Amino acid sequence: MNVINRVLVAGIPLVPKPIVGFFSRRYIAGETLEDAVRVVRELNRDGMMATLDVLGEEINTREEARSAADTYKQVLAVIQSEKLDANVSVKLTQMGLKHDARFCREIFRQVVHEARQRGIFVRIDMEDSTCTGETLAIYGDLRREFDNVGVVLQAYLRRTAADADSLMQDGRANFRLCKGIYVEPRLIAYGDKELINRNFTLVLERMLHDGAYVGIATHDERLVWEGMRLVRELGLLKERYEFQMLLGVDSELRKIILAAGHRLRIYVPFGEKWYRYSMRRLRENPQIARYVFQNVFRRA
């Protein structure tokens, strides 16, 4: 236990795939869409919504980008045919954001369009800070055309409060707010955990106050508490917001949120490319890693 923690905290670049795989089992639905559907059905049965994430990021060719878009279209079709209470979360690098931003926008627009036809919402995941500007620009454009698309803002970025304000100017913003998990330089992101929490609370208050729809995405009980406080103070209907958590993390907190009468959506990643998602959670956020480990060991 201690050895493993130390290896991760030190940020050693490579952890053998079987080890990562073992630890990631808890928070990846599986390799196939069938696995994901099964997990979503269980969540739905237990009163939770889901968002499906097809694992994968940063592709190199237009073919790979098209293939990712096609996979998402297939997921949309299955969500509809299986009547799942689920939407999708998409990383734009997977559709070529860094390779060819115009092309990325084009094929991603088709995904959003198809989702619109099927009555499904599409959340654009946020990646590291080299993607922020372009991702927000694509969201901004599409949001003018579609009401079924939203984006993510990360409370640890120094720019986030200003981004929230500017994106809310059209009055139809749809955000997920999370702390942020990528390793960022100090000039770009707050490092102080208390400051990240205060910024999260501040930005959340502004979003909710200004009428944006917000997915409050956190496993930090203090932020869950702040979220509950704000929605109560503002007298918000529960259709105006949702709590969000990652698959495999803190099932007690799930129950606490549901018991308090709030809606909760679980982020369900699946697919063959689970290594980078898993490594990010293991390496870039040792706290979640430790948490996941504890759960694994507790079960073992």
Catalytic site positions? 125, 176
Our CB check for a second copy shows the closer of 75 and 136 to be 136
Q: Smallest distance from the beta carbon of 66 to a second copy, in angstroms?
A: 38
3-state helix, strand, coil in the chain (%, to 5): 55, 15, 30
By DSSP bridging, strand 213-217 and strand 49-54 are: unpaired
Our CB check for a second copy shows the closer of 181 and 256 to be 256
Using CB under 8 A, which of the segments 10-18, 122-130, 132-140, 256-264 binds a second copy?
Answer: 256-264
> Which residues does 57 contact at the CB level (< 8 Å), separation at least 6?
91, 93, 94, 127, 273, 276
* Residue 194 sits in the site that holds a second copy (CB under 8 A): yes
Q: Please, where are the H alpha helices in 119-158? A: 132-145
Please return the burial class of 151, using the count of CB atoms within 10 Å of its CB with bins 0-12, 13-18 and 19+: buried
* Residue 256 sits in the site that holds a second copy (CB under 8 A): yes
Q: Smallest distance from the beta carbon of 156 to a second copy, in angstroms?
A: 12
DSSP one-letter code for 202: H
Our CB check for a second copy shows the closer of 12 and 195 to be 195
Our CB check for a second copy shows the closer of 158 and 263 to be 158
CB 139 within 8 A of CB 108: no
DSSP one-letter code for 179: -
The identity of residue 45, as a single letter, is: R
Give the Å distances, CA to CA, from 169 to 117, 165, 178: 26, 7, 21
Our CB check for a second copy shows the closer of 221 and 272 to be 221
* Residue 192 sits in the site that holds a second copy (CB under 8 A): yes
Q: Number of H helices and number of E strands within the chain?
A: 12, 8
* Residue 235 sits in the site that holds a second copy (CB under 8 A): no
Distance, in Å, from the CA atom of 254 to the CA atom of 222, rounded to the nearest integer, reads 14
Q: Smallest distance from the beta carbon of 277 to a second copy, in angstroms?
A: 28
Residue in 23, 27, 190, 200 binding a second copy, rule: CB under 8 A: 190
Using CB under 8 A, which of the segments 40-48, 118-126, 141-149, 218-226 binds a second copy?
Answer: 218-226
* Residue 202 sits in the site that holds a second copy (CB under 8 A): yes
Residues that bind a second copy in the complex, under the rule CB under 8 A: 158, 161, 186-187, 190, 192, 194-195, 198-199, 202, 221-222, 225, 229, 232, 252, 255-256, 259-260
